[in-house]
Chains A and B, each alone.
Chain A
Amino acid sequence: MILLFIVLLPILAAIAILFGAPPRRTALWAAGFTLVATVLMYLGFEAGQRGFQAVISFPISSDWKINFTLGVDGLSLMMLLLTAVVTFAAIWFTGKITQHEHAFYACLLLIAGGAFGAFASLDLFFFYAFHELALIPTFLLIGIWGTGNRQAAAWKITIYLATGSFILLLGLIMLYRSLPEAARSFDIRALQKTAGLIPAEAQSNIFLLLLVGFGILVSLFPFHSWAPEAYASAPAPAAMLHAGVLKKFGLYGLLRVAIPLLPGGAERWNTLLIVLLLGNIIYIGLVTIAQKRLDWMLGYSSVMHMGYIFLGIASGTLLGTSGAAVLIFAHGISIALLFAISGEIRQRTGTLVLRELGGLGKIMPRAAFAFGLAAFASIGLPGFANFTGEVMVLFGAFRNGANPERFGIYQIAAVLGLWGVVISAVYMLRAYRRVFMGPALESLSGATDLQRSLRIPIGMLVALTLWFGFFPQTFVRIVTPTFKSYFTSKP
């Protein structure tokens, strides 16, 4: 029941806002309540248990065998927690909206509702549909309230993600049809039992489709070029929600659907995935270094960090895969905070061109502090969950087939991934030095610091990532049971 509440409350609140409820207050209360409900759910979750909890199901169409089924296991629980926290922060960070204020907040809530729905759905149909529901307001937020070349950015992300969704849909449909008539179902729980029934050839083809489809949604190299432009144009709360939460749908989909249902296909294409994800880590890492604007730099950095999550997924070990889940969460929080602060800087100084910024640490000490925390989190400073995730992913990948006599592809991927950690420190520290350190620029002296009240969302985000950084076992304990069944035979 609580799950239904979490999924529906943001959507209902969005509708209420569209019908004239006070936008900011309604949205904040709705986000606050869903956050509380999610935390309650987290506290009441029984970690050791396999399978899904809090399952609730409504039949929609019996001849199509579609049910509106919600339920959580450890993985989806953590995705819900991420969604709830980032949503709350994004709404809190929303500044003054000059046009169509109601629609703006409604869009934010719809993204959140779509994300909640996608992560909590146990039915493939709703899993997909909720994500689509969340994409549309994302496009609108960029197209209507964006900055810079917003129309072009909005078109680009729309075309890209629509293509990705379309390929994904094709894959899902093929997946459905490749099952024997009797075993066909939309229920993910039922599907997970059918993994052996799909012939190898079909697995391979379908997995490739799913990989490309999900991959486009997560900006897997070379399908990434929508991301930096869209995030640079998007209003900060939209960038927070998409980069922090909604984008993770693709990764969640790989972990939830593609890997467990198509283990043969996953193995078949793993080498390709590793090559592509190294493109994310090394190539995009280098591209990030060369960026001249803070928002583009953050956008590219977010693309780059996807590479580590993919590496965890491709690692083929329980350790690495659990690390991917930790990183999904950790990255969601750190990138949300980074976009939030950079949005504030844009509002207050009117520019995000690195060359035009300098010495903001003196002028905006609170912003400098918050950005610094998020920046160091994102480059994997120990203590933040990002570090834990990276360690798990790299150790996991390195361990796969480790042989003291020679390095295999997993070892090489881990080494290059480790090099990426150096790259990310380079671009992040350079930007930080450029923006916040050095003498304060005359032209920026009029900028004001963050309001004190923003300490609450910032503190919440930071506290959460620190908690899981210091006590990763509290996270791992919850998500690992989900993955255990994937690796019955491997270390």
Chain B
Amino acid sequence: MSSALPWYILLLPFLAAVVIVLFTKSYRGLSSFISVAAVLASFALSCVVFATPNIHALELTWLDFRPVLYVPLGFVLDDLSKTMLVLVTGIGALIHVYSLGYMRDDAGKSRYFASLSFFMFSMLGIVLANNFVMMFIFWDLVGFSSYLLIGHWFERDAAAEAAKKAFLTNRLGDFGFMLGIMMAWAATGSVVFGEMAQQIGRITSYPGYLTISALLIFCGAVGKSAQFPLHVWLPDAMEGPTPISALIHAATMVAAGVYMLVRVSFLIQASAEALWVIAWIGTITAVMAALIATQQNDIKRILAYSTLSQLGYMIMAVGLASGQAAMFHLFTHAFFKALLFLGAGSIIVMLHHEQNIWKMGGLAGRLGITFLTFLVGTLALIGFPPFSGFFSKDAILALAYEKDRAIFWLALFTAFLTAFYMLRLVVVVFFGKPRSDHARAGREAPWIMIGPLILLAIPAFASGFGFVAKLFVALPAEKETNWLVPGMALGATVAGVICATLLYRNRQTDPIDFALLRKKFYFDELYAFLIGATQELLAKLSAFIDRWILDAGFVRGSSTATWGIGSLLRLLQVGNLQAYSFLFGLGIVGLIYFTLFR
């Protein structure tokens, strides 16, 4: 059955964005209403599509150079994309509602909601795309909407820098992504996933070529999912409004890289070398980000590094050739991480935009519901049974245990660190004595913000149970029950919890000061140095050459000559440009005459 229905899911948020920009910009309430209505409608339609087996969407042509290149605008509607549809629109809808409260008094509210709707459009495009070029189009648009939203408060220098950094880092990843697409296309003759999968034999006969192109495609995911070494933009992206951090920089956009890799697993899994690299990049990111998270003081940054670390788990699973495990974790993580960010948002807003955890404290009593839901999110994140994260993380750990022991031990260590930094956060923020006036005066957020927290807490708790999850994602095949891995994972988690609680109970300042971690392994400094030493230097050098050698050499020479002619012309009393132009025209006519017709 071919239907236009999926198109509405995609186009409604787009339409909302267009209407807001063109017509309702100065009516802030109306703008936010349009945006929320669009995402709710999209969500409802997504549920319909989810429930409809064998649904196909109309296909349009974007570019047709058959037989060389054919780019349709077509959808792939399988279990994978249907789950993502519901996930993206569902969490998106909650965050739209939450934003009504969070951004209530913002002067740029219309702009915010237009960007948010535009983001929904772009993200849904990635989910639905049935070919590489279309995916890349929406991939870039997602980056663009993220730029808009990170830079929402553009008059702040930090936000402006963060937006630019996010876009440029993603561009760097996209360079590889596009190149990988071109290579895969040149070999298989198509960009449509289905056809490429059929023609995969034309590329697997060149293993080196295949590996390079798979790794280049992976570069796209490294950028978008903020993996090492392109992870630096994501923590800075926390300069955007907190609902954005929840939706884009935790639940959906950064997961797009994982989704893409699963979507093209036919290509990735054909190269064992590529898989190995992917698994290790994921592992490095997971450990590194978790280490950094233990020494951050900004509540959003801690969560941001935790996102990095969890994305590392997902990429690790992709590298261990299990798309199911990656998607399972993506699925549960989307709920509990969105929940944590929204909880952080309600704390931040109630504390007058205070983000330093050492200025908080004792909030458990005053922000009761926020505390309880945050606790649910934390338990899910650290993988405490029976919260959702336990099951999905266990699936990845079991996979690693089976396939690569070194990765397994690092993943286990990360589980310990996760429990450690999250409990540090919880203990410092919610317990002990308030450390600032704002913290003493804090109170619960309005219902429009609390409501989404409660709604998210339910799946954050329950989405890991097999009978729930299997409705949405294909679960990794169950091997014989092995208690060793979950046992070790639980041990690591409990150890982390105990260490953090003992260390941070009733503290006024951080007892540990580890500069290397606090400074995030000096990545920003290193990159600044590298950019300065390469690009900036080359740019200055090129500009110098252009100005003083190319221009001065060629042009000054000829311009001296011309000034000579100019003075000559001045002698003839016609040394101005008009006369020159006229003579020029005349000369050309003369030249034509003499060369052609003599």
Which A residues are closer than 8 A to B by beta carbons?
A: 64, 125, 132-133, 136, 139-140, 143-144, 151-152, 154-156, 158-160, 162, 165-166, 169, 173, 176, 222, 225-226, 283-284, 286-291, 317-319, 322, 359, 361-362, 376, 381-383, 387-388, 391-392, 394-395, 398-399, 402, 404-405, 414-415, 418-419, 421-422, 425-426, 429-430, 433, 436-440, 471-473, 476, 491
Known A-B contacts A64-B597, A287-B546; the reply to A382 vs B164 at CB < 8 A is no
Min CB distance, B557 to chain A, in Å?
11
Q: Which residue of A lies closest to B597 (CB)?
A: A64
Q: Which residues of A are found within 8 Å of B253, using beta-carbon distances?
A: none
Bound complex: CA of A64 vs CA of B595, how far in Å?
Answer: 13
Contact B588 A165 (CB under 8 A): yes
Q: Which residues of A are found within 8 Å of B546, using beta-carbon distances?
A: 225, 283-284, 287
Q: Which residues of A are found within 8 Å of B568, using beta-carbon distances?
A: none
Q: Which residues of B are found within 8 Å of A144, using beta-carbon distances?
A: 577
The digit string for B174-194, where 1 denotes a CB below 8 A from any CB of A, is 010011001001110000000
Bound complex: CA of A162 vs CA of B586, how far in Å?
Answer: 12
Contact B68 A422 (CB under 8 A): no
The digit string for B127-151, where 1 denotes a CB below 8 A from any CB of A, is 0000001001110110010000001
Beyond A139-B577, A404-B206, 5 additional pairs, beta carbon < 8 A: A166-B591, A287-B543, A394-B178, A405-B209, A476-B65
In the A-B complex, the 7 residue pairs with the smallest Cβ-Cβ separation, listed nearest first, are A290-B543, A437-B160, A382-B137, A289-B539, A402-B186, A143-B577, A290-B539
Contact A286 B596 (CB under 8 A): no
Contact A162 B182 (CB under 8 A): no
Known A-B contacts A144-B577, A173-B596, A404-B187; the reply to A429 vs B164 at CB < 8 A is yes
With an 8 A cutoff between CB atoms, is B580 at the interface?
yes
Known A-B contacts A140-B577, A169-B592, A290-B539; the reply to A132 vs B64 at CB < 8 A is no
Min CB distance, A217 to chain B, in Å?
14
Bound complex: CA of A152 vs CA of B552, how far in Å?
Answer: 13
Q: Which residue of A lies closest to B153 (CB)?
A: A437
Contact B63 A361 (CB under 8 A): no
Q: Which residues of B are found within 8 Å of A361, using beta-carbon distances?
A: 154-155
Q: Which residues of A are found within 8 Å of B144, using beta-carbon distances?
A: 376, 381
Contact B133 A391 (CB under 8 A): yes
With an 8 A cutoff between CB atoms, is B404 at the interface?
no
With an 8 A cutoff between CB atoms, is B487 at the interface?
no
Min CB distance, A432 to chain B, in Å?
8
Q: Which of B64, B163, B164, B559 contacts A476 (CB 8 A)?
A: B64
Q: Which of B175, B536, B584 contacts A418 (CB 8 A)?
A: B175
Q: Which residues of B are found within 8 Å of A359, using beta-carbon distances?
A: 155
Contact A395 B185 (CB under 8 A): yes
Bound complex: CA of A382 vs CA of B155, how far in Å?
Answer: 26
With an 8 A cutoff between CB atoms, is B509 at the interface?
no
Contact A176 B596 (CB under 8 A): yes
With an 8 A cutoff between CB atoms, is B390 at the interface?
no
Min CB distance, B205 to chain A, in Å?
8
Q: Which of B155, B559, B591, B597 contacts A440 (CB 8 A)?
A: B155
Bound complex: CA of A426 vs CA of B137, how far in Å?
Answer: 19
Q: Which of B168, B185, B550 contacts A429 (CB 8 A)?
A: B168
Interface CB pairs A-B, < 8 A, 29: A64-B596, A64-B597, A132-B588, A136-B581, A139-B580, A140-B581, A152-B559, A156-B555, A159-B555, A159-B562, A169-B588, A222-B550, A226-B555, A284-B546, A286-B538, A290-B540, A318-B65, A319-B65, A359-B155, A361-B155, A381-B141, A381-B144, A382-B137, A382-B140, A399-B69, A404-B187, A421-B171, A433-B163, A437-B154
Contact A225 B168 (CB under 8 A): no
Within 40-70 of B, Cβ neighbours of A (below 8 Å) are at: 61-65, 68-69
Bound complex: CA of A64 vs CA of B159, how far in Å?
Answer: 67
Q: Which residues of A are found within 8 Å of B550, using beta-carbon distances?
A: 222, 225
Min CB distance, A421 to chain B, in Å?
7
Contact A317 B63 (CB under 8 A): no
Bound complex: CA of A414 vs CA of B582, how far in Å?
Answer: 43
Q: Which of A359, A414, A418, A433 has the most CB of B within 10 A?
A: A433
Known A-B contacts A159-B562, A225-B546; the reply to A154 vs B577 at CB < 8 A is yes
Q: Which residues of A are found within 8 Å of B554, using beta-carbon distances?
A: 222, 225
Min CB distance, A318 to chain B, in Å?
7
Q: Which residues of B are found within 8 Å of A438, using beta-carbon distances?
A: 154-157, 160
Bound complex: CA of A382 vs CA of B118, how far in Å?
Answer: 13
Q: Which residue of A lies closest to B148 (CB)?
A: A372
Q: Which of B539, B541, B577 contacts A158 (CB 8 A)?
A: B577
Contact A287 B155 (CB under 8 A): no
Min CB distance, A311 to chain B, in Å?
14
Bound complex: CA of A440 vs CA of B178, how far in Å?
Answer: 37
Min CB distance, A175 to chain B, in Å?
12
Q: Which residues of B are found within 8 Å of A290, using beta-carbon distances?
A: 536, 539-540, 542-543
Contact A388 B63 (CB under 8 A): yes
Contact B64 A318 (CB under 8 A): no
Bound complex: CA of A270 vs CA of B178, how far in Å?
Answer: 25
Q: Which of A319, A414, A429 contacts B68 (CB 8 A)?
A: A319
With an 8 A cutoff between CB atoms, is B167 at the interface?
yes
Q: Which residues of B are found within 8 Å of A414, using beta-carbon distances?
A: 182
Known A-B contacts A222-B550, A290-B542; the reply to A425 vs B171 at CB < 8 A is yes
Contact B167 A425 (CB under 8 A): yes
Bound complex: CA of A158 vs CA of B559, how far in Å?
Answer: 11
With an 8 A cutoff between CB atoms, is B273 at the interface?
no
Min CB distance, A111 to chain B, in Å?
13
Min CB distance, A137 to chain B, in Å?
8
Bound complex: CA of A226 vs CA of B546, how far in Å?
Answer: 11
Contact B63 A473 (CB under 8 A): yes
Q: Which residues of A are found within 8 Å of B555, using beta-carbon distances?
A: 156, 159-160, 225-226
The digit string for B565-598, where 1 denotes a CB below 8 A from any CB of A, is 0100000000001101110110010011001110
Contact B155 A286 (CB under 8 A): no
Q: Which of B68, B164, B187, B591 contacts A169 (CB 8 A)?
A: B591
Known A-B contacts A404-B206, A414-B182; the reply to A286 vs B160 at CB < 8 A is no
With an 8 A cutoff between CB atoms, is B161 at the interface?
yes
Contact A433 B133 (CB under 8 A): no
Bound complex: CA of A152 vs CA of B154, how far in Å?
Answer: 39
Q: Which residues of B are found within 8 Å of A160, using beta-carbon distances?
A: 555
Contact A173 B595 (CB under 8 A): yes
Min CB distance, B541 to chain A, in Å?
8
Q: Which residue of A lies closest to B139 (CB)?
A: A382
Bound complex: CA of A225 vs CA of B545, how far in Å?
Answer: 11
Bound complex: CA of A261 vs CA of B584, how far in Å?
Answer: 28
Min CB distance, B329 to chain A, in Å?
29
Bound complex: CA of A183 vs CA of B178, how far in Å?
Answer: 47
